[in-house]
């Protein structure tokens, strides 16, 4: 029986797009009491989107941290950069730069592992997450949140969706 993967989206704050933080090299040190997610090698045809989504889901509960890009805390673009980095894919640091990466995907063609973008604090891309399948995504949603899964079609996210990109 096929399982529908969830759609992931990361980060929900102007901090995501504006910190300019420099990420640490991958892999990063592991937070005490938390083990790093496994990073299987990419298949010959590209990355394994199912594994990438699994890695993102394994980070649920990691706190939001402005400028964060490691297991001590993530902002939205730091989260996506970290997850893709585990599979050898280098993403730019800011949301706006990530929005310029990859090829555009129509909303109907969004698949697990695609980057999902929203306009939350200003015109243009200011928040990013990772599609996990169906109508769901995973992201690092703000200074009061933790990495979590939400619905793209919710009353908050739906009207703020501005595009998706495939980078694998």
Q: Please state, in angstroms and rounded to a whole number, the distance separating the CA atoms of residues 46 and 100.
A: 20
Q: Which of 8, 11, 7 is nearest to 119 (CA)?
A: 11
Of the candidates 52, 76, 130, 149, the residue annotated as catalytic is 76
Decide if 139 is catalytic. yes
Q: Which residue(s) pair with 133 in the sheet?
A: 136
Q: Please state, in angstroms and rounded to a whole number, the distance separating the CA atoms of residues 140 and 146.
A: 6
Burial class of residue 38 (count of CB atoms within 10 Å of its CB; 0-12, 13-18, 19+) = exposed
Q: Helices 76-85 and 49-57 meet at what angle, rounded to 10?
A: 130
Of the candidates 65, 93, 96, 139, the residue annotated as catalytic is 139
Q: Please state, in angstroms and rounded to a whole number, the distance separating the CA atoms of residues 59 and 162.
A: 25
Got the DSSP string for 27-68?
SPPPPTT-PPPP-PPPPTTS--HHHHHHHHHTTTTPBB-TT-
Decide if 127 is catalytic. yes
Of the candidates 65, 93, 96, 127, the residue annotated as catalytic is 127
Residues with active-site annotation:
76, 127, 139
């Amino acid at each position: 029986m096929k399982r529908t993967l969830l759609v992931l989206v990361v980060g929900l704050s102007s901090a995501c797009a504006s910190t300019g933080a420099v990420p640490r090299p991958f892999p990063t040190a592991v937070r005490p009491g938390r083990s790093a997610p496994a990073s299987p090698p990419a298949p010959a045809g590209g990355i394994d989107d199912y594994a990438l989504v699994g890695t993102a889901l394994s980070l649920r509960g990691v706190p939001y941290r402005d400028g964060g890009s490691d297991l001590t805390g993530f902002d939205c673009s730091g989260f996506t950069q970290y997850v893709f980095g585990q599979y050898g894919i280098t993403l730019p640091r800011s949301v706006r730069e990530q929005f310029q990466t990859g090829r555009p995907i129509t909303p109907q063609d969004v698949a697990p592992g695609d980057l999902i973008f929203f306009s939350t604090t200003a015109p243009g891309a200011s928040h990013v997450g990772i599609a996990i399948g169906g109508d769901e995504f995973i992201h690092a949603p703000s200074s009061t949140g933790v990495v979590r899964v939400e619905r793209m079609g919710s009353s908050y996210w739906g009207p703020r969706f501005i595009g998706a990109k495939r980078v694998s």
